[in-house]
Structure 1
Amino acid sequence: MPYDTVNPANGQVEYSLELMDAAAVEQRLAAAAQAFPGWAATPLEQRGALLRKVGAQLREQRDAIQRVMTAEMGKLRKEALAELDKCAAACDYYAEHAAEYLREQAVVTDAQRSYVRYEPLGCVLAVMPWNFPIWQVFRFLAPALMAGNVALLKHASNVPRCADAIRKVLADAGVPDGVFDVLHIDNDQAAEVLRDARVAAVTLTGSERAGRSIAANAGGQLKKCVMELGGSDAFVVLDDADLDATVAAAVKSRFDNAGQTCIAAKRFVVVEAIADEFVRRFVAAAAERRLGDPQDEATTLAPMARQDLRDELHKQVQASVAKGATPLLGCEPERGSHAGYPASILDQVAPGMPAYDEELFGPVAAILRVADEAEAVRVANDTTFGLGGSVWTADRARGERVACQLQCGAAFVNAIVKSDVRLPFGGIKRSGFGRELAEHGIHEFMNIKSVYVA
């Protein structure tokens, strides 16, 4: 059965693709199973050298891959290039640090010798989203390959050529056949692949609904899984915040990538003493974001990735307004744009509204006014999600104290929440479980083995 990918900027069909049949899927599963023993036995230095070549290929092919990213999911050219550079840097990072992270660790016990060693699990199925179509993959792939695992990628249906571009990068770098491949399959087929005995584990970045389905399947098979799901990050503005810096960061965090970022600031929790001034400046700065051709360097707001996603976001906005939220900017689909939604701000957001209770996965900011610091912490934590959060204040010690009270996987003070290959990344509550990146990320898909020699 074929499916089309549609350019979100103009509505034109970019690509038509046939789903793989059972024979094609079996071929790739068999190749992965065959490749695993040899790849796991490949010396770490050789795996690292290949991963550095992967990074070099990403840099060499960045312009071509950027055009595919922009055509398939609408990412601004400059944002796509930055994403590709980040992927290349992650490859270099794990090539450099894997030996440190995977070294045997001696432990003093009653034995003559005892230690902990790390061994790869096997084939990992990666179910990945469209919003960062290259980075989301490499965030998992670089550490997984350095660990000695092999991988199969089931990418989002609207970015199939991004998936193929990743496969080409690895092939051009000389990564052996079967170590990484792409499955152009639907969700039902992915569930069958996960049930296959040759698949050892699964990682998913996506919606809560997708996470529940994949995690239930993995649990039924007693297979390791890592879930990076949605977020509704709080951006806490205290009464002593530097508003110039805070507003600039608020605009960037909410509207980059058309707001389609799990760790984007979505709920702006602002202490009442400075709320009016913050909101005035925020509206003025956000109004400068302009939709347009994502290939044009002058465009400062990308379209949303699909028209149906834009329509769903608008329903959330309308429902919030119907329940009392005040639209201050935007809040109507962009005329003449296939999937465009303008930079939008809702004020007076309260519990019971979608803008308060749900994730707004698009360029809409929700203003939540609070009386003081204590209420700011309470409101920031009043969510089913727990991915990230940030605190903005002139007092670093105060900011750190508040950050440590936020119920989330990453809390930043006077900085936008972002993934950093040097820090573990992941959430709590309904934002998922497990960690990617840093030392923690490479250990997620390994057998942590205790060896005891009496």
Structure 2
Amino acid sequence: MTNTLKCISPIDGSVFAERPVLSLDEAKAAAAKGRAAQAAWAARPIEERIRLVMAGVATVGAMNDEIVPELAHMMGRPVRFGGEFGGFNERATYMAEIAESALAPIEVGEDATFKRYIKRVPLGVVFVVAPWNYPYMTAINTVAPALIAGNTVMLKHATQTLLVGERMAKAFHSAGVPEDVFQNVFLDHDTTSDLIAANAFDFVNFTGSVGGGKAMERAAAGTFTGTGLELGGKDPGYVMEDADLDAAVDTLIDGAMFNSGQCCCGIERIYVHEALFDAFVEKAVAVVKGYKLGNPLDKETTIGPMANVRFGAEVRAQIAEALDAGATAHIDTFAEDDGAAYLTPQILTDVTHDMRVMRDESFGPVVGIMKVKDDEEAIRLMNDSDFGLTASLWTSDMERAERIGDRIETGTVFLNRADYLDPGLCWTGCKQTGRGGGLSQIGYHNLTRPKSYHLKRLGTA
């Protein structure tokens, strides 16, 4: 019997889409096609590669009216938020604009005897394993620069957003990107691991769980295949005594709850100076009580279901454990909470770092808020985590924020903002959040390799 991948819609638990997976032989053949097509693709002028990639991006944008409700069906994001094309286009456009300078040869020196320079050349076949929470934006982070740099790409999407890669491939192919240059594939875990172990790829970019990242590294062990891994997060916010309180509440609570808390750089824990703590909590509770939980296809819905019932179960477990250990819940159960995918957003106080809700990734609409007396306590608590993706600082004193930022174990430091990915900056993390970096000039460096040229002219000494 053919093994199939099934997307179970969080709206009602029905099967929204299913696709058969490739056999190992079929998957190897697809990877071989990508490898065979790579040299000719890389030989095309960079201007042509940029033009074709951006035409593919525009074609995805033309599908947006179909994509938005499709995403609601697959992973529960309310249609009122309009999908992901804004960020998808912003990231691809920025990477296209910097491509020629980021990939330009490094001129080392030229004289009558020698010409020396370093080129950035494509790695070959890049394998992108994309997540379901922001399936278009996370995929384009690597797909666009990898193709522009001259690599071929194989894209495997999470089962929860099964149709995203298919749509992207259709769009890019119709815009003129050759089918073997950009392939969408449906693979199970075993076939994925077997391909990586067989050196089918020259680089693997994975966004997902810590366990998934470890599986990728195990599969790549001994192959010398490069990996870029964006894994878990437990991103903190720190509100200092001189912060703009209303702005901090609005941004941090939105960062904690948007997309039902299912954001890579969502805010999962907040530390507030004791002078503002009570006011912050009062305002935060008022914001969350104003949310409307419901069917994401309803334009009045502001918070939809968790993408999968099992994700909701983990968040409920963390909340229940915290309450048993003495935490205080501030949000009464919403009428629409079904005990499964539809989950009441929650604010907790009286929390400690002995509780999983303050240490393990929640990836759901819950945030713990703790009172702190000074910067030293806040820094200690922010660093008391296995993860390090982003941290959000709130103060009117930029120099103070920079000093604190230098001491936080994180990939990105935000000041007076949160939960945003700037394509001009390297998207990276530390500790169990992973390794590598996407976007910015560094993103191009990670999708290419340096090749040195040391050329001596004939007839010289």
Matches within 5 A, 1:28-177: 28-81=30-83, 83-108=84-109, 112-177=114-179
Shift of 1:108: 4.0
Q: Name the structure 2 match of 1:325.
A: 327
Taking the aligned partners of 2:30 and 2:80, their CA distance within structure 1 comes to: 34
Question: Secondary structure in 2 aligned to 1:38?
Answer: helix
Deviation, structure 1 residue 12: 2.0
- Asked if 2 retains the 8 angstrom alpha-carbon contact of 1:236 and 1:269, the reply is yes
Answer yes or no: is the 8 Å Cα contact 2:194–2:219 preserved in 1: no
SS of residue matched to 2:357? helix
The code of the aligned residue for 2:282 comes to R
Q: CA shift at 1:290, angstroms?
A: 1.3
1:418 partner amino acid: Y
Cα offset, 1:358, TM superposition:
0.7
Q: 1:257: how far off?
A: 1.0
| Paired-residue identity, % | 32
User: How much does 1:331 deviate?
Assistant: 6.8
Deviation per residue, 1:126-175 (Å, 9 max, x gap)? 11111011111101111111110111112111211112111111111110
1:347 to partner: Cα distance = 0.7
**Counterpart selection for 2:341 from 339, 342, 350:** 339
- Does the CA-based 8 Å contact 1:333-1:341 persist in structure 2? no
Query: How far apart are residue 266 of structure 1 and its match?
Result: 0.7
- 1:433 corresponds in structure 2 to 435
Q: What corresponds to 1:18 in structure 2?
A: 20
Alignment of 1:216-235 (within 5 A): 216-235=218-237
Structure 1 residues 324 and 331, CA gap change in structure 2 (3 angstroms): farther
Structure 1: how far apart are the matches of 2:224 and 2:204? 11
Structure 2 CA distance for aligned equivalents of residues 319 and 414 of structure 1? 32
Give the superposition deviation at 1:332. Answer: 8.0
2:407 is paired with a residue of what secondary structure? coil
Looking at structure 2, the residues matched to 79 and 35 of structure 1 have their Cα atoms a distance apart, in angstroms, of 38
Indicate how the Cα distance of structure 1 residues 331 and 142 shifts in structure 2: closer, same or farther if over 3 A, else same: farther
Counterpart-to-counterpart distance in 1, 2:291 and 2:409: 31
C-alpha deviation, 1:361, in angstroms:
0.6
**Alignment counterpart, residue 270 of structure 1, candidates 269, 272, 293:** 272
Classify the secondary structure of the residue corresponding to 2:428. Answer: coil
What secondary structure, in the 3-state scheme, does the structure 1 residue paired with 2:160 have? coil
Q: 1:66/1:243 Cα in 2 relative to 1: closer, same or farther (>3 Å)?
A: same
Are residues 1:415 and 2:417 paired? yes
Task: Give the structure-1-normalised TM-score.
Answer: 0.96
Q: CA deviation at 1:47?
A: 0.2
**Alignment partner of 1:373 out of 375, 387, 392:** 375
The one-letter code of the counterpart of 1:20 is L
List per-residue Cα deviations over 1:36-58 (Å, max 9, x = no partner).
11111111011011012012102
In structure 2, how many angstroms separate the alpha carbons of the residues matched to 1:131 and 1:439?
25
Deviations 1:199-219 (A, max 9, x none): 111010011111111022223
Output one character per residue of 1:161-202: Cα deviation in whole Å (capped at 9) or x when no partner: 112111111111110121111221111110011123331110
Contact 1:270 1:369 in 2 (8 A): yes
Amino acid in the other structure paired with 1:309? F
- Secondary structure of residue in 1 paired with 2:228: strand
Q: Distance in 1 between matches of 2:336 and 2:219?
A: 40
Q: Is the 8 A contact 1:58 1:85 kept in 2?
A: no
The one-letter code of the counterpart of 2:425 is L
Picking from 6, 9, 12, the partner of 1:7 is: 9
Alignment partners' CA distance in 2, 1:446 and 1:78 = 39
Q: Tell me how far apart the structure 1 counterparts of residues 32 and 168 of structure 2 sit (CA, whole Å).
A: 20
CA distance in 1, matches of 2:306, 2:110: 56
* Residues 401-410 or 331-340, more deviating: 331-340
- How large is the Cα RMSD of the aligned pairs? 1.8
Please give the secondary structure, in 1, of the residue aligned with 2:203: strand
Deviates more, 1:294-303 or 1:178-187: 294-303
Alignment CA distance shift 1:384-1:302 (3 Å): same
Structure 1 portions without partners, runs of 5+: none
Q: Which string of whole-angstrom CA distances, capped at 9 and with x for unpartnered residues, describes residues 201-258 of structure 1?
A: 1010011111111022223311111011111111001111111111111121111111
Distance 1:330 1:221 in 2: 52
Partner of 2:288: 286
Give the conservation status (yes or no) of the 8 Å contact 1:204–1:226. yes
Alpha-carbon distance between aligned partners in 2 of 1:441 and 1:330, rounded to the nearest angstrom: 44
Aligned residue pairs, count: 453
Contact kept, 8 Å, 2:80 with 2:300, in 1: the verdict is no
Q: What CA distance in whole angstroms lies between the structure 2 residues aligned with 1:268 and 1:44?
A: 45
- After superposition, the C-alpha distances for 1:338-373 in whole angstroms (9 at most, x for unaligned) are 511122111111122101221111000111221112
How far apart are residue 26 of structure 1 and its match?
Answer: 2.9
**Paired residue type of 1:94:** M
- Structure 2 gap ranges (5+): 457-461
Give me the whole-angstrom Cα distance separating, in 1, the residues matched to 2:332 and 2:225: 45
Question: Per the alignment, in what secondary structure is the counterpart of residue 107 of structure 1?
Answer: strand
- Tell me how far 1:2 sits from its aligned partner: 2.5
